[in-house]
Amino acid sequence: MKRIEVDVGLLREFERGLDPRHPERSRMPARVLGYGEISTVFAIEVEGMRGLAFKRLPIFHTEEEMEKYRATYEEYNRLLEEIGLSLPPHGYAAFLTDTGRPIFYIVQQELPALSVGNRAIHLLPRQDTLLLVRRVLRELCKVWEFNRRQDYWQVGIDGQISNWAIAGFDPEHPHLDEGTRLDYMDTSTPLFRVQGVEQLNPELFLRSAPPFLAWVLRLLFLEDVVNRYYDFHRVAVDLVANFYKEQRPDLVPDLVALVNEVFRQEAPHLSVPPIGEKEVRAYYREDAQIWSLYLSARKVDRFLRTRILRREYPYILPEKIQR
C-alpha cells in the first residue's frame, strides 16, 4: 500500500503551537477524533492536512529510541498486511521539537466517524452487529493461524471493536454483509516477537504514566498487559467486555455465545478455550477500575507539572471517558 507523505515542516509548526490541554485552541486548530486509554487521535484543521488522522506519540527520550520504534512500527504494518488484514492508507512523521523532544506522528487516512466499530454498533441492526463481531473474529483468526503455522514470528493484536472500520458504511442505511471489508486501524502498539523476543520496548507503555504510579504498573500489570494481546482467548474476552464500555451490555450474552461458536465451529484447530459471561463481566470491572485510576493519576501529574513545577506536560488527556 502506498504510504501517506505529510509536510513535516507543517507538523513542526503545529507542534510549536499545540495546546495539549485544549487542542482545539492551538495555533493550528485540532479536532479530536477519539481518545484511547493512552493516546489521542485528532485532525489538524489546515490546508495540506485535511482528510488525515494523526496520533501523536511524545513518549521517546532519544532519537535512537524513536528510530527503533519506527522500524518496529513499519514491520508490524507489513506483518499485518502479510497476514491478510486490511489497513487504511498510512504513514508517519518523526522529528525533534525546538526543545529537543523526539515526537512521532502516526498518520492515517481519516475514516468516516460513524464507520468505526464502536459508533456503528449503535446504528446497525442487531443481527448486523453480531455479524460485525463474527467478521472481526475471523480477521483475528488470521493472526493466530499465522502464529500457528510458523515459530519465527508471533504477532499480538488489540481486537477491540473501536479498532475496526466498516468500508463503504452508509449511516443512512446501516448494513454490512459477508463481503464488506473491515479496516484495522490500531497499529500504534506494534506488538510482535521474533523467536520469542518482544520487538517493542514495553517500557514505552509507561512513559505517559505519572512517576509515582509507573513502578506499580511495571511491577503488577505491564507483563500481563503485553501478554494478553498474544492470547486469543483473552483478546476475545476484551472484545466482548468492551461492549460494556460502549454502552451495549444487552449484546454481551449473545456475543459470548457467538465467540464460542466461532472457536468451536470455525477455528477448532486453534484450540481456544471458550469464554464465559461471568469472566467477561469480571474482566471489564477490573479493567475499568485500572484505567479510571490511571486517568485520574495522569490528571494529578498534569496539575503538579504545569501548576506547581511550571513545567511542560506533553500529553493530551480526555476530560472523561464514558465506561
Residue 104 per-residue DSSP state: E
- The interaxial angle of helices 126-149 and 252-261, nearest 10 deg, is 40
pLDDT at residue 321, as a whole number: 63
Domain encompassing residue 39: 8-109
Mean per-residue pLDDT, 175-192:
95
Angle at alpha carbon of residue 225, lines to 223 and 228, rounded to 5°:
105
Amino acid identity of residue 276, one-letter, is G
Mean per-residue pLDDT, 144-153:
96
Cell of 236: 476475545
CATH number at residue 36: 3.30.200
Amino acid identity of residue 51, one-letter, is G
Amino acid identity of residue 140, one-letter, is L
Question: Is 45 domain-assigned?
Answer: yes
Q: Output phi, psi for 54, to 5 deg.
A: -120, 135
**What pLDDT band is residue 102 in, cutting at 50, 70 and 90?**
very high
pLDDT at residue 204, as a whole number: 85
Question: Is 59 domain-assigned?
Answer: yes
What's the CA gap between 174 and 121, in Å, rounded?
10
The count of C-alpha atoms lying within 13 angstroms of the C-alpha of 156, restricted to the half-sphere facing its C-beta, is: 25
Task: Classify burial at 220, counting beta carbons within 10 Å of its beta carbon; exposed 0-12, middle 13-18, buried 19 or more.
Answer: exposed
Mean per-residue pLDDT, 79-96:
96
Question: Is 73 domain-assigned?
Answer: yes
**Region label for 108, one of left (φ > 0), alpha (ψ between -120 and 50) or beta (otherwise):** beta
What's the CA gap between 29 and 24, in Å, rounded?
5
Question: Is 101 domain-assigned?
Answer: yes
**What pLDDT band is residue 2 in, cutting at 50, 70 and 90?**
low
Alpha-helical segments (H) within 84-154 = 117-120, 126-149
Q: Is the pLDDT of residue 37 over 70?
A: no
Number of domains in the chain: 1
**What pLDDT band is residue 297 in, cutting at 50, 70 and 90?**
confident
Question: Is 38 domain-assigned?
Answer: yes
- pLDDT tens for 4-27 read 999 999 999 999 999 888 888 889
Question: Is 105 domain-assigned?
Answer: yes
Question: Is 116 domain-assigned?
Answer: no
Under 8 Å between Cβ of 183 and 87? yes
Question: Is 35 domain-assigned?
Answer: yes
DSSP-derived pairing of the beta strands 40-44 and 197-198: unpaired
pLDDT at residue 115, as a whole number: 97
- pLDDT tens for 196-254 read 999 999 888 778 777 777 667 776 677 888 899 999 999 999 999 999 999 999 999 99
